Amino acid sequence: MTSRIAFLTIGQSPRHDLSGVVERALPPGVEISHLGALDGIDREEIDARFASRSGQPWLISKLADGTVITLDVEAIGVRLQLCIERLEAQGAEIIVLLCTGEFPGLTTDRATLIEPDAVMCRTVAGLLGTRQAGILLPLPEQVDEARAKWSVLGKPPLFAFASPYDGDAAGLICAAREVLDAGAQALVLDCMGYRPEHKQALRAAGIAQPVLVSGVVMAAALGAFL
Give pLDDT tens digits along the chain (226 positions): 468 999 999 999 999 999 999 999 888 889 999 999 999 999 999 999 999 999 999 999 999 999 999 999 999 999 999 999 999 999 999 999 999 999 989 999 999 999 999 999 999 999 999 999 999 999 999 999 999 999 999 999 999 999 999 989 999 999 999 999 999 999 999 999 999 999 999 999 999 999 999 999 999 998 888 8
Taking the CA atoms of the chain, what radius of gyration do you get in angstroms?
17
pLDDT (0 to 100) of residue 78: 97
> Same topology for domains 4-115+219-225 and 118-213, yes or no?
yes
Cα separation values, 167 from 2, 189, 196, Å:
39, 17, 15
- Quickly list H helices, 51-195: 73-89, 116-128, 143-149, 170-181
Domain ranges of the chain: 4-115+219-225, 118-213
pLDDT (0 to 100) of residue 226: 82
| Global confidence as pTM | 0.94
Give per-residue burial for 11-50: e unless 16+ CB within 10 Å, then b.
bbbbbebbbbbbbebbeeeeeebbbbbbeebeeeebeeeb
Assign 3-class secondary structure to 40-68: CCCHHHHHHHCECCCCCCEEEEECCCCCE
Q: What is the DSSP letter of 131?
A: S
Q: Are 213 and 199 in contact (CB under 8 A)?
A: yes
Half-sphere exposure of 197 (CA within 13 A, CB side): 11
Q: Are 96 and 115 in contact (CB under 8 A)?
A: no
Specify the CATH class of 4-115+219-225 in words: alpha beta
pLDDT (0 to 100) of residue 2: 61
For the domain with range 118-213, which CATH number is right: 3.40.50.2300, 3.30.300.130, 1.10.579.10, 3.40.710.10? 3.40.50.2300
pLDDT (0 to 100) of residue 91: 96
